[in-house]
Chain A
Amino acid sequence: NFMLTQPHSVSESPGKTVTISCTGSSGSIASNYVQWYQQRPGSAPTTVIYEDNQRPSGVPDRFSGSIDSSSNSASLTISGLKTEDEADYYCQSFDSNNWVFGGGTKLTVL
Chain B
Amino acid sequence: EVQLVESGGGLVQPGGSLRLSCAASGFTFSSYDMHWVRQATGKGLEWVSAIGTAGDTYYPGSVRGRFTISRENAKNSLYLQMNSLRAGDTAVYYCARRVRGGYYMDVWGKGTTVTVPS
A70 CB contacts on chain B under 8 angstroms: none
User: Which of B35, B50, B102 has its CB near the most chain A CB atoms (within 10 A)?
Assistant: B102
Complex: A18 Cα to B106 Cα, angstroms: 24
**Is B47 in contact with A99, judged by CB distance below 8 angstroms?**
yes
**Is A99 in contact with B50, judged by CB distance below 8 angstroms?**
yes
From B9-17, B19-27, B65-73, B108-116, give the one contacting chain A: B108-116
Task: Report how many residues on chain B are interfacial, defined by Cβ distance under 8 Å.
Answer: 21
Q: A105's closest neighbor in chain B, by CB?
A: B44
Is A110 part of the contact surface with B, judged by Cβ < 8 Å?
no
Contact pick for A100, options B47, B58, B99, CB 8 Å: B47
Complex: A39 Cα to B56 Cα, angstroms: 29
B4 to A: closest C-beta gap in Å: 9
- Chain A interface, DSSP helix/strand/loop, else mixed: strand
Contact pick for A44, options B50, B60, B94, B104, CB 8 Å: B94
Contact pick for A103, options B44, B47, B108, CB 8 Å: B44
**Is A104 in contact with B44, judged by CB distance below 8 angstroms?**
yes
Complex: A56 Cα to B99 Cα, angstroms: 11
**Is A101 in contact with B44, judged by CB distance below 8 angstroms?**
yes
Contact pick for B44, options A44, A98, A99, A102, CB 8 Å: A102
